[in-house]
Amino acid sequence: MGLLGNILEIDLTQEKWNLAACSDDAESNYLGGRGINIKLLSDQIPPGIDPLGPQNILTLSCGMLTGTAAPVSSRVHINALSPLTHILGSSNIGGGFGVSLRLCGIQQLVIRGRASKPVYLWIDGDTIEIRNAKSLWGKDTWETEALLKERLGTEKLKILSIGPAGEKECLFGCIISDRDHAAGRTGMGTVMGSKNLKAIVVKAQKSPVAFRSKSDTQQAIKHYLWQMKYSPEFKTMKAHGGAGYVEWADELAILGTRNYRDYHFEDVKRIDGKKLKKNIARKHGCPRCPVQCKADLRFSTGRLKGKESVRPEFEPMLALGAKCGLNDLQTLVYLDNLCTRLGMDSISAGTVIAFAMDLFDRGIITMADTDGLNMRWGNGETMEKLIRQMADSTGFGKVLAQGVRQAAKVIGGGAENYAAHIKGLEMAGYHPYNMMGTALGYSVSSRGADFSDIYATLEYKWLPEKATQVFGTPVSTDPRSIQGKAQLVRRSMIVGSVLDCLGLCKVPALCLICTYDLVGEAELVSAVGGRTVNVTDLFIAGERIVNLERLFNQQHGAGVLNDRLPKMFFEKAYNAGIEPSKPAEWMEPMKQEFYDIMGWDVHGDPTAKKLAQLGIYSPQYNKHSAA
C-alpha cells in the first residue's frame, strides 16, 4: 500500500536513535497502530521482565490513516508491558500529536532503555534530540506543556507528557496531550516515567501529506462524513460530548453506583453532563472530526470560578461520580481535571476510591487505616486528598496507587471480595449485570475490564431485525439475553482492533455510524492508499491482531482463569437486591461459545489450526496459567 511512514527507535540508555522504513509485511498483515505495536512487543519482550525496568519497551504508533485526508483519523496507539496488570498495556490517544508525527514522516516510535536523568524527546522534521528535562520533573501535565511552549518559543508544538503520578510510580499513571486528551489506561504514563521520559515534543511541519487526494478519495470521505452527521446521536454528542450520557446510563440500568452495589444513582440528574452546557466557553476536538466533542468550561461561582477547566469524558463522569456516590457536578469536574493534571487514569482512580469507600462502609477499614480520612460515600474532600496522595505516593493513597488488585491484597480482611477488576485493570463504568455483551467483553478483553477495548454499542443500538441478519437471533441485542453475545463480542473485538490500527476514533465509528461492517473503513483505506483493500482483508488483519494479543498475554501469565468477572457480581448485594447467581448460569456459557467461534480451545488458547489460518507462528507458550 505504501501508506506507513518510518520507525524511529530511541535508546534512552545510550542516548542514540535510528530511523528505518516500516516493512511491507507490517503494513499488509498488521495495518498500523495497535497492530504493528503488538507484533513488535510479541517479538521482543520476553516473559518475566520488570514492567518498570529498562527492558520494557514503550511503543507509540500512528494508525495507518492518521494524518491523511480521512475523517477522524488522528489516533495514536500506545503499548508496553503494563505495570498495573503485568500483561499487555494498551491505550489510545487523539488530538493533534499523531498528525504532527506523521507529517514528520514517522509512523512508530520505539523507546527502549532508561535515561540517566529526566529528559524529553524533541522531533522537528529530521531533527531528533534527547534533551534535559530536569526542570520539568515534578510539574503537572498542564504546566509541562505550557513551559515547553514558552521555552521553545512557539505554540505550534504537539506534546505528550506525564505528571507526578507517572514519575512516582502510581501504577495507573497516564499520558496527556493538548491538556485534555489522555492515553488513560494500563499505566503507560508510569512506564514513561520509569524511563525518565517526561515528554515527547513534535514541531508541526508545513509539508503536506504525500498521499492526500485521488479521484475517489472525496467520495469515500463524503460517504463516511454523511453516515456520521446523519446518525441519530450526532447532535447530542456534538453538543454535550460523552459527558451528556450519564442520565442515559442510569435509565438503561447500567450506571455502576457505589462500587457497583447498584446500577441506579438517586442523584443522577445532578451530575449529568448536559448541565454543563451553560458553562461551555469554547468547543474543540481532534483534527478532521466534525463532532468536536471537547469543551473548555467557565464557572461564575464555586471552587472553579475564574479557573481553567475542561469538560470530563463519559467514563470519568461515571468513575468519579456515581461510582463513588459523589453528587456535586463542579466537584466532579474539578477532580477529573486534577487527575488529568497529575497524569492519572481517572477511571482507575475513581474505581479504587470507590473500592476503599465500600470497604470503609463495611467496616473492613477504619479511619485508623486511612490516616484519618473519612471515606464515607460522596466525600469530595477525601477524594481530592486521596488523588493527591496517589500521585505523590504518600499516606493511604500509596496503597491505592497500586490498583485495586494489589491494594486488596495489602489491606486483607476480605477486601479482595470487593475489588472490581479483571486481569488487574479496574472496571469501566457500566454495571455488567444488565449488559451481557459488556460483561463478556470485560472478561475476554486483552487489556482487562474495559469497554473501549471491546466497544459493544451494537448491543443496545441495533434493531432485532439487524441482529437476526448478522448474528442469527433477534435477542443478541437484548442486553439481558446471553444468546448471540459471543458472536456480537467477537465482531466488536475485531472491528475495534482494526479501528485502532487505522487510527480512526471509535466514538464516530461505533457510537454514531455503528455499522460494525468495516465497509466505510475499507473504502477510506482504498481511496487514500491507492490500492484496493476489501472488508475481508481488514477483518482477517483484525483477527490476526487479537489472536497475537491473546498469545502475548498467555506468555506473560494470563490464562482462562483470568477471563472472569469478579465474584462480587454474582452476589445479591451487587445485583441491586436480585438473588445471587452462579457463573455457570450466564457467564460460562457465553465465554465457552466465544472461545469456540474464535477458534480457541476450552481453555481459551488459540488452536494451531486457527494460528495457521492467520499466518501466526507461535512458540511454546505457558498454557492455562493465571496471573
526-584 pLDDT, tens digit each: 998 777 899 999 999 999 999 999 999 999 988 767 899 999 998 877 775 666 777 78
Nine cell digits for residue 275? 448541565
- Distance, CA of 64 to CA of 570 (rounded, Å): 42
Question: What is the C-alpha separation between 606 and 615, in angstroms, rounded?
Answer: 12
Torsion of CA 250, 439, 502, 527, to 10 degrees: -80
Report the C-alpha gap between 499 and 77 in whole angstroms: 10
Q: Give pLDDT, residue 626.
A: 41
- Torsion sign over Cα 572, 578, 580, 581: negative
pLDDT tens profile 150-161: 999 999 999 999
* Confidence (pLDDT) at 624: 43
What pLDDT does 208 receive? 56
Integer Cα distance of 408 and 414 in angstroms: 8
Q: How sure is the predictor about 231, in pLDDT bands with cuts at 50, 70 and 90?
A: very high
* CATH number of the structural domain 436-614: 1.10.599.10
Q: Quick: pLDDT tens for 361-402.
A: 999 999 999 999 999 999 999 999 999 999 999 999 999 999
Task: Cell 508491558: give the residue.
Answer: 81
**pLDDT exceeds 50 at position 622:** no
Identify the CATH assignment for 251-419 out of 2.60.40.1260, 2.160.10.10, 3.40.50.300, 1.10.569.10: 1.10.569.10
Task: State the pLDDT confidence band at 585, using cuts at 50, 70 and 90.
Answer: confident
Over the stretch 10-54, which tens digit does the pLDDT of each residue have? Answer: 999 999 999 999 888 888 899 999 999 999 999 999 999 999 999
Domain ranges of the chain: 6-203, 251-419, 436-614
Average pLDDT across the chain, whole number: 93
Q: How would you write 443-506 as a 3-class SS string?
A: HHCCCCCCCCCCCCCHHHHCCHHHHHHHHCCHHHHCCCCCCCHHHHHHHHHHHHHHHHHHCECH
The pLDDT of 586-614, averaged and rounded, is 94
- pLDDT attached to residue 589: 92
pLDDT greater than 90 at residue 206: no
How high is the pLDDT of residue 388? Answer: 98
User: Which phi and psi (to 5°) does residue 406 adopt?
Assistant: -75, -35
- CATH (residue range 6-203): 3.60.9.10
In whole angstroms, give the CA distance from residue 263 to residue 252.
9
**Continuous segment of H or E residues that includes residue 297:** strand 294-297
Beta strand segments in 178-228, E? 181-183, 197-203
pLDDT for the residue 573: 76
- In this predicted structure, the answer to whether residue 1 has a pLDDT above a threshold of 70 is no
3 state DSSP class of 77: strand
How far is 493 from 487, CA to CA, in rounded Å? Answer: 10
Would you place residue 215 in the very low, low, confident or very high pLDDT band (cuts 50, 70, 90)? low
Query: In angstroms, what is the C-alpha Rg of the chain?
Result: 23
Above 60 in pLDDT, residue 212?
no
Asked if residue 297 lies in contact with residue 280, where contact means CB atoms within 8 angstroms, the answer is yes
